[in-house]
Every structure is written in structure tokens, then in C-alpha cells.
Structure 1
Amino acid sequence: MSAAPRKVAAVTGGSAGIGQAICEDLLAKGYEVVSLSRRKASIDHPRMHSIEVDLGDRAATGEAAAELVRRFEVDTVVHNAGVIRPALLADVKLADLDALTELHLGCAIQLLQAALPRMRAQHFGRVVLMSSRAAVGLATRTAYSATKAGMLGMARTWALELAADGITVNVVAPGPIRTDMFYDLVEEGSDKERALAASVPVKRLGESADVARAVGFFVDPANGFVTGQVLYVCGGTSVGSLAL
């Protein structure tokens, strides 16, 4: 019989955008939440905590992971932090591939390795990796698509390895979501933004809350029969085409 989960969640990139929305949603569900990000989370709540760290730095991430599990009894890990670094193939820099591999994949491994002993001891854990609709292909996304697609194989492997321990591992893959990262690439209120929204089958861009609700499903203690799955929160763009 598994122990009752304490509902303590670590969320990477919890200081803005989708990560902040995930933190807010988990707080509303009664979780203790720890954001790991370069900036302190702006959410003012007695159950909200921050560990400031550059998750692209392997040594710093290791130290932050050790601090995380020393201070908190983490049973839920949501790896949301990410960057894009777009470039056409001819201009792709291998240094960018290395950086995104470290952030999107290496960081997830470090955090889960740190949290795993406690999860196994209590026979309960929830892990969600934040991939992207770009995992199925998108121009200018060589390094980003490769590492976000890598999350799918990694999550499925972990799901098989950890299922008997009461730990589920799933993936949320957002499409075009209205965040600061999105507007770094597409000017807000521009013709390009309107054309992109029109190209989405549901005829709108996504909101951070759309993604947070999907994460909320996967981390729910009641959903222990769902593992190794990928949920595209993309307005249908993973079924059709998308042009940025």
C-alpha cells in the first residue's frame, strides 16, 4: 500500500509564462510548490518557494537539486524550463545543441535522480516533462525539436522503469502558446500573429492556463493508471501543419 502523497511539487522555469501558470494551478490544488529558475517566482503565497539557479549549468543544477530534496519532500517534478534558439540548418550551432541538451534533457535527469529515492520510499511520484509540438517537426527548430523529441523517448523509458514504484512519467507538448517566449519570435498584435492563430485548427492561440490544466491531470494522485503518454496541447496543430 502506497503512502499518502504529500503533494510537494518542483517546477522548473516557474517564474514566468507557462511555468508560473503551473505553479498557480498547483497552489490552488493545495500543493507546496518550489520554483527552480534564474529568477525568483513573483507569486506571493505561503506555500510558494524559489530556488534561483541557471538550469543550463550542470554543476549549479546539481547543487540546486541537492538543496531541493534536502529542504522539501518532493513527490512531483514538472520540468518546464526551456529555450528555443531558432536557426535554419545551415546556421545551426553545435553549441546551441549542447546547451539545449543540457537544459531539456540533462537537467531532467539530475532532478529526477535527486527526487527518486524519496519517491520510491513512499511508493508514489509524478513526473511531467514539457516537450513541444515542435517535436514532430518545425522549420528553424533543429536543436529545439531534437531535444524536445528526446523527452518523449526518455519519458517512455522512465515510465517503464518506474511504474512498479508507483511513479508515473508523462509528457505535455504545447503548440503555439501566448507567452513572452512566443512574442520574442512573433510580434504581438502583428499580421503574423493573426495569420498563425487563423492557421490553428481551433482558430486561436493557446494560453498558459491551457497547458497548466494538462499538467494538473498528469500530476493528480488519482491518475496512477496513466503513464508513458504524450498529450499535445496544441489546438490541433500536431495533426495538421503549422507555419511560423
Structure 2
Amino acid sequence: MAERVLVTGGSHGLGRAMVERLRADGYRVVNLDLQPAAAAHADEVFVQADLTDEPGLRAALAAVIEREGPITRLVNNAGIVRPASFEETELADLQAVMALNVGGSIVCAQALLPGMKAARFGRIVHISSRAAIGKATRSAYAASKAALHGLAKTMALELGPYGVTVNAIGPGPIASPLFDRVNPPGAPATQQIVDAIPLRRMGQPAEVAHMVASLLDARAGFVTGQVLYVCGGMTVGLAA
């Protein structure tokens, strides 16, 4: 029977690329999202859930584990941005972003953890962002992604004795619908971002999916508590 992996927000964007890559690697993928993918595969398990609804999310996770059995790999990918300058950021924005980006990740990991501990094996990958180290008009988003870094490191310390690794991946500018929504193509500010990338190009969703697949691999058992950037070099030096 194929190993199972749960991907949140796997119906579109980066999450969809992860689903495609993990299917190609032979995993049975459980996609937890608000809506199914436009072109879902027959062997793909879709679970509809709102990651900000804790009781509903816990119930959905319990149901899929009962049906599918223990799931020992998790990719916490679902997230929202709510862009605004610091002065214009409202607490309601912060609370909404934290509830999904961080709260949903915690609930999903807690639900899958008993199966991982029983198997003495687990792989958890949080999808963070380069914005976690600072980006204008991303106060709430950056705060939530930085929180995932601390969460990954703390989880790694606590769960290491059970054979569970926990890491975070911080994508830089990736050509995706989410990026385009908050960085309009052709806008001067968007071009400035591309010009600041040492590789002088946008990243591709498949490149993020490759790093995810690498950390989920059983052979990646000595990498934990790390934040790995897939950013074309933007986190190096003074790239802004």
C-alpha cells in the first residue's frame, strides 16, 4: 500500500504542484482544502475543510484518519496573505492570517501525530515564506510565517525522539496565482522584485515541490528544525 501524505491547500498554486509531484513519487495524496482541484485525479483523496474552523477541522481529520489509516507525512501549505502597510494592518487581519497559517498547521500536526509516534516515523513540512525575514506591506503575513519557523524548531526538539522530523521551507518569488494577486504582473514594484533575484528569474512551483518531496523522503531523517529557502538567492547578502 502506498505511503500517505496530507497536503493542505492542495487544490491550486504551490499546493497543486506539491500534489502532482508527490503523486509522481508514488504517494497516496490526501488534499485538504476548501474546494477540490479543477482537475483532480481519481486516486487523489479530497477532504473539504476550513482550517480556521477548529472543531470542523479536527472532525474532518479524524474521519480521514479513520478511513485511510495513519498518515505519517504532512505538508502544511494552506495560507493567506492580507497585504497592508504596518500602519494600516488591523488586528482582525493578523488574527485571520494567524488562524489559518499557524493555527491550522498546529491542528493538522496534532491530529496526525499519534500515528507518527506509533510508527516511530514522521515527516512534517511547514510552508513558510521569504517574507518571514521582512517584507514591506506584509506585517501580518510575515509575522505568521516567522511563527512557523519557531514552531518548526520547537516541534523538532520535542518530536525528534519519536523519529519525527519537522522543517520549514521558505519560498521566495514563485510564479503562482497567489504571487500575481499581490504583485500585479508588469507593475514596476513586481519588476523590481525580479531584478533583485540573483538568478534573475522567478521560481517555479515545481522547484518548491521538489524541496518538499526531498524533506518528506524517508532518507531525510537527519534534517530537522531547519528553515530552507527556495528563493533564487534572495536571502543572501543584501538582496531586497
TM-score range normalised by the length of the shorter chain: over 0.9
CA contact (8 A) 1:11 1:80 kept: yes
Q: Does 1:109 align with 2:106?
A: yes
The letter for the 1-side match of 2:160 is A
State the 1:190 CA deviation: 4.3
**Conserved? CA contact 2:153–2:166, under 8 Å:** yes
Deviation at 1:106, TM superposition (A): 1.1
1:15 — aligned with what?
A: 11
Which of 70, 76, 84 is matched with 2:73 structurally?
76
| Pairwise CA distance, 1:233 | 0.4
**Displacement after TM superposition at 1:57 (Å):** 2.2
Quote the residue 1:199 is aligned against: 196
Give the CA deviation at 1:90. 1.2
One-letter code of the match for 1:93? E
> Is 1:58 the equivalent of 2:44?
no
- Superposed CA RMSD: 1.6
Amino acid at match of 2:54: R
**Does the 8 Å CA contact 2:171/2:229 hold for their aligned counterparts?**
yes
Please give the TM-score of this superposition, normalised by the length of structure 2.
0.94
Which consecutive unaligned segments of at least 5 residues does structure 2 have? Answer: none
Amino acid at match of 1:176: P
1:136 maps to: 133
1:15/1:28 CA distance change after superposition, 3 Å: same
Range with bigger deviation, 151-160 or 50-59: 50-59
CA contact (8 A) 2:2 2:26 kept: no
Q: C-alpha separation between the residues in 1 aligned to 2:83 and 2:184?
A: 16
Partner of 1:231: 228
Equivalent pair of 2:33/2:50 in contact (CA under 8 Å): yes
Identity of aligned residues (%): 44
Partner of 1:30: 26
Match of 1:170 in 2: 167
Q: How much does 1:104 deviate? A: 1.2
Deviation, 1:112, is 1.1
Say if 2:146 is the partner of 1:153.
no
- Please name the residue that 1:221 is paired with: 218
CA deviation profile, 1:159-213 (whole Å, cap 9, x unmatched):
1111111111011000111111111122234444333212111100111111001
More divergent stretch after superposition (66-75 vs 12-21):
66-75
Alignment partners' CA distance in 1, 2:167 and 2:128: 10
CA contact (8 A) 2:83 2:182 kept: no
Q: For residue 75 of structure 2, give the secondary structure of its aligned residue in structure 1.
A: strand
TM-score (norm 1): 0.93
What do residues 74-108 of structure 1 show as CA deviations (whole Å, max 9, x unaligned)? 11000000111011111111011111111111111
Mapped to 1, the partners of 2:212 and 2:174 lie a distance apart of 15
Query: Are the equivalent residues in 1 in contact too, given 2:170–2:230 (CA < 8 A)?
Result: yes
